[in-house]
Amino acid sequence: MRLDTDTFREIADSLVRNKRRSLLTGFGVFWGLFMLLFLIGGGAGLKEMLSKNFAGFANNTVILISSNTSKPYKGLQEGRYWNFEYKDVERLRQMVPELDVVAPMISAWSGNVAYGSHSSSASVKGITADYDRVETSQIKYGRFINEMDVEQERKVCVIGKDIYNELFPDGGDPCGNYVEVGGIHLRVIGVDFSSGNMSINGRASRTVTMPITVAAKIYHRGNTVDIICITGKSGVKMTSLEGRLRSVMGRQHSFDPTDEQAMVILNTQQIFSIVDNLFRGLNFLIWLVGLGTLLAGAIGVSNIMMVTVKERTVEIGIRRAIGALPGEILSQILMESISLTLLAGSFGIVFSVLILSGVEALTKHEAVFQIGFSTAILAALLLSVLGALAGLAPALRAMNVRPVEAMHDE
């Protein structure tokens, strides 16, 4: 073999061709990491936005609603309607000790609230003080309904955020002012800024909340209530209590305990479970797609490094001939493979952060569409491992190149 100008020019041309291939292969790694991080950040943002819809709502709540019977029972015909009573609250507490909160409610779906020349549509809730443990309020001004308000039948109310903005457009603390609801003037004692979309009897932002004793008189309910909200004690699965709840209410109000239509049971624990399972499946799919794309990029890196070793056989042979050790050849190829994946991956991390920032701006920062620092570090470590694995086979091949055979091939 003659080490002339033509030989070195061939080696240089080979390196240039390998750089072009490296750019294409690096794009595969870049795209794979970008897809993985974008999906992780996007999935986290979507989960946060969905979680905000359930913000403040107890995840072990059961809502009981009376309805028409669908089965005859003890001589009574089907289709009979019945109502909850105040006595049912204490009855449930005694007969089902696993319950933590038993909160009755009187509700009116379509109502109107007025203050001066301003008015707003609203739903009305008549509640007890412990209802705040079912649906936690976020009081901006004043306070929530307490036990004394209920016992003394105080004509007070808490208004939602949207109602507050419409009745008091100039802002400020509205507590102490009187608003008209159902022909009765109620003193505002609080403003609830809850933002969750999951709420009983309408969104919290468009609700007027008052003591249940006051609501009973305004809407002429007597001893009946519309809804009973209950929560279980820590560790209690509400699904396991549904049969007992139907049995207790069926025995008191004369309907078949197996008649599921006679009493509607809305179990929020099941809803939260469905949402959790949905995001577990989504996270699995995100990692499956992302890692698959990354592996495809790593295979591309391995292939390009194999081509690189083959085309640089002469160069490697010369280095071996002038004293380069096999370990030095091995480390060089591995470092080139790791550097290629890390460089492309770094661009993928930066690009995914920029795109996620744009998505976050489009959603008006309602949720954080970003990846954590630890996730970025983990991604970099993963790329280093993939780069080392991708370059291992080509490096072993390069290490086994013998100077005599390389010169003979030339």
Indicate if the pLDDT at residue 8 is higher than 60. Answer: no
Indicate if the pLDDT at residue 10 is higher than 50. Answer: no
What span, in angstroms and rounded, lies between the C-alpha atoms of 47 and 227? 30
Query: Between 381 and 15, where is the model more confident?
Result: 381
**Average pLDDT for residues 13-27, to the nearest whole number?**
58
| Beta-sheet pairing, 84-85 with 61-66 | unpaired
Could you tell me the pLDDT band of residue 68, with boundaries at 50, 70 and 90?
A: very high
Which residues does 97 contact at the CB level (< 8 Å), separation at least 6?
Answer: none
**Average pLDDT for residues 88-116, to the nearest whole number?**
89
Q: Highest-confidence range of 51-55, 93-97, 192-196, by mean pLDDT?
A: 93-97
**Average pLDDT for residues 73-101, to the nearest whole number?**
90
- Radius of gyration of the chain measured on its C-alpha atoms: 35
- What the block records as the tokens of 115 is 């203050």
pLDDT of residue 360: 83
Give the 3-state secondary structure of residue 72: coil
What mean pLDDT, rounded, does the chain reach?
80
Helix 268-311 × helix 326-362 angle, to 10°: 140
Indicate if the pLDDT at residue 323 is higher than 80. Answer: no
State residue 107 phi and psi, 5-degree precision.
-125, 150
Of the listed ranges 257-271, 306-320, 373-387, 395-409, the one predicted with least confidence = 395-409
Indicate if the pLDDT at residue 141 is higher than 50. Answer: yes
**Average pLDDT for residues 109-124, to the nearest whole number?**
86
What span, in angstroms and rounded, lies between the C-alpha atoms of 251 and 45? 47
Using a 10 angstrom Cβ sphere, with 0-12 exposed, 13-18 middle and 19 or more buried, the burial of residue 190 is buried
Could you tell me the pLDDT band of residue 1, with boundaries at 50, 70 and 90?
A: very low
pLDDT of residue 20: 59
| Span 150-188, pLDDT tens digits | 999 999 999 999 999 999 998 889 999 999 988 889 999
In the chain, where are the structural domains located?
Answer: 5-54+273-409, 99-232
- What the block records as the tokens of 217 is 């008189």
What span, in angstroms and rounded, lies between the C-alpha atoms of 350 and 50? 26
Could you tell me the pLDDT band of residue 15, with boundaries at 50, 70 and 90?
A: very low
Could you tell me the pLDDT band of residue 359, with boundaries at 50, 70 and 90?
A: confident
pLDDT of residue 9: 54
pLDDT of residue 216: 92
pLDDT of residue 121: 87
| Span 204-243, pLDDT tens digits | 888 999 999 999 998 888 889 999 999 888 888 888 888 8
Of the listed ranges 192-196, 326-330, 357-361, the one predicted with least confidence = 326-330
Indicate if the pLDDT at residue 406 is higher than 60. Answer: no
pLDDT of residue 17: 54
**Average pLDDT for residues 192-200, to the nearest whole number?**
72
Contact 223, 212 (CB under 8 A): no
What span, in angstroms and rounded, lies between the C-alpha atoms of 301 and 388? 10
pLDDT of residue 88: 92
**Average pLDDT for residues 2-30, to the nearest whole number?**
56
**Average pLDDT for residues 11-27, to the nearest whole number?**
57
pLDDT of residue 347: 83
- The DSSP secondary structure of 267-303, one letter per residue, reads EHHHHHHHHHHHHHHHHHHHHHHHHHHHHHHHHHHHH
**Average pLDDT for residues 49-75, to the nearest whole number?**
79
Query: Between 397 and 346, where is the model more confident?
Result: 346
pLDDT of residue 320: 63
